[in-house]
Amino acid sequence: MTVEEALRYYGQEHVLKRCENLTAAEREELYARLSVLDWEMLTAWKRPENLKRGRISPISGLTKEDIAARREEYFRIGAEAIRAGKVAAVLLAGGQGTRLGSPAPKGMFNIGLTRPLYIFEQLISNLMDVVKAAGAYVPLYIMTSEKNDAETRAFFEEHNNFGYPQSEIKFFVQDMAPSVDFEGKLLFEERGKLALSPNGNGGWYSSMQRAGLDADMARRGVEWINVFAVDNVLQRIADPVFVGATIKSGLMSGAKVVRKCEPRERVGVLCLEDGLPSVVEYYELTEEMANERLEDGTLAYSFGVILNYLFHAKRLGEIAAEKIPVHVVKKKVPYLNEAGELISPQTENGYKFETLILDMVRLMGSCLPFEVEREREFAPVKNRTGTDSVDTARALLQKNGVQL
Ligand code: UTP
């Protein structure tokens, strides 16, 4: 289908009309965008069955006690894999951090009190702990978005990668997804520019492929990829014990989890869905399921995910072509009205489309839940104050001996 045909087929004739008033250069740029658009994604809001759930049941995993009993063995296996160059890390830093409300990329946020300590800096410092313990560097791939790529790269350069060798760091830019109004019409943020935003953290692998970095990993002999979020300042990256346990399990992926602190805690939980590992969101659990207990008295759905996954590289390549569910989110999207004025709506006016990394767990086919201690490994910076905020993360860092 040509761009024009696609626009007509998907009911986007208003775009053709808009093109009439664009300069040749503007039109060319817009067409370049449209030619790589995932048109099917645009219609996801019409298909709620896209996200229908199968039968949910509890999953068993390694508890903290299980891990403690075999820590040395797991560490040895994991550290060996790191030394052999089989482990890489992917930092997801393409989000917009709207809740934190800082215009800069989230990793540039200064979490220090008496000295500057940027989130990126803290993450590199956490990774260096592993480099020292295992005796080898872990290649680090950093995903940015079109909105924050230049700023992020410049920040790393300015700070000399916080001591991490240049040869071990590569950046790539995640794909963008368009926004539509409640009738499904593409919104514009400038005359010839679609309203675009990062397409969710589930797009990391396809974006890596587009950048040719899956081949780069294969060349380096990478077999395991540890993917993690930018905003957990206690994140343990390429943790050899986690790597070792996942390799030993023979499963295709692993997920770090923390025990939920109460049945209705707002965190996604790892479970089985029609027999396959899966993550369900807190709001998808019925009251009964949220409170269900196992024979030993623990909550049946208590493995909260913290966005730290280990994926088998070969399996990722195999599932790359499979469809990952598209989540449709209602948002306030600034847009140009027909008169060409930029409107910043006060209420939600459109849909954004996202894919989520947690949906990849199911596609991987098998997953090892790996329980870690919340107070030592989970300090997310989502909000400025209150729960999961700069304040709570600072307190947890201090508790773990980090000088702020
Ligand atoms: P969140 O879901 O917390 O989103 O991201 P966010 O954009 O950082 O923050 P809010 O919701 O706007 O306040 C979890 C992780 O996924 C990354 C984020 O950078 C973070 O590491 N992410 C999210 C991406 O890399 N790309 C995206 O499109 C979305």
Which is nearest to 298 in space by CA: 69, 56, 59?
59
Neighbouring C-alpha atoms within 13 Å toward the C-beta of 389: 8
**Using an 8 Å Cβ cutoff, are 92 and 204 in contact?**
yes
Chain centre distance of CA 44? 20
Residue 288 pLDDT: 93
Tokens of 261: 């602190």
Q: Which residue has the higher pLDDT, 392 or 42?
A: 392
* pLDDT tens-digit series, residues 200-224: 999 999 999 999 999 999 999 999 9
Q: Give mean pLDDT, residues 71-75.
A: 98
Alpha helices in 36-100 (DSSP H): 39-42, 64-69, 71-83
pLDDT above 90 (res 242): yes
377-393: burial string, b at 16+ Cβ within 10 Å, e else: bbbbbbbeeeebbbebb
CA of 65 to the centre of ligand 1 (A): 32
Query: Separation of 200 CA from ligand 1 center, angstroms?
Result: 7
Residues 6+ apart with CB under 8 A from 387: none
Q: pLDDT by residue (tens digit) across 182-199?
A: 999 999 999 999 999 899
Angstrom distance (rounded) from CA 373 to CA 49: 36
Domains by residue range for the chain, with CATH: 58-256+304-399 (3.90.550.10)
| pLDDT surpassing 90 at residue 283 | no
Q: Which of 91, 92, 354 to mutate to test the pocket of ligand 1 (most atoms within 8 A of CB)?
A: 92
d(CA 362, CA 264): 23
- Percent of the chain topping pLDDT 90: 83
Residue with tokens 């295709």: 252
CA distance 196 to 178: 4
Instruction: Lowest mean pLDDT of 9-13, 66-70, 95-99, 188-192, name the range.
Output: 95-99
Atom of ligand 1 nearest to the CA of 94: 25
Q: What's the CA angle centered on 46, arms 189 and 276, to 5 degrees?
A: 110
pLDDT recorded at residue 59:
96
pLDDT cut 70: percent of the chain above it: 99
Q: Tell me if 176 CB under 6 Å of ligand 1.
A: no
3-class secondary structure, 300: coil
Choice between 348 and 320, residue whose per-residue pLDDT is larger? 348
User: 357 CB under 6 A from ligand 1?
Assistant: no
Ligand 1 contact via 92 beta carbon (within 6 Å): yes
Separation of CA 349 from chain center: 25
Confidence of residue 48 (pLDDT cuts 50, 70, 90): low
Cα dihedral 33/29/32/45 (nearest 10): 20
Distance of CA 130 to the CA centre of its chain: 22
Q: What is the pLDDT of residue 158?
A: 98
Helix/strand/coil for 252:
coil
- Return d(Cα 247, Cα 23) in angstroms, integer: 56
Cβ of 93 less than 6 Å from ligand 1: yes
Task: Indicate the pTM of the whole model.
Answer: 0.94
What pLDDT is stored for residue 57 in this prediction? 95
pLDDT of residue 51: 66
- 95 ligand 1 Cβ < 6 A: yes
CB within 8 A of 96, min separation 6: which ones?
Answer: 145, 147, 148, 197, 198
CA of 404 to the centre of ligand 1 (A): 25
Q: What is the largest CA-CA distance in the chain?
A: 69
> Does ligand 1 come within 6 angstroms of the Cβ of 201?
yes
pLDDT of residue 49: 61
**Could you give the 3-state DSSP secondary structure of residue 231?**
coil
pLDDT, the chain, mean: 94
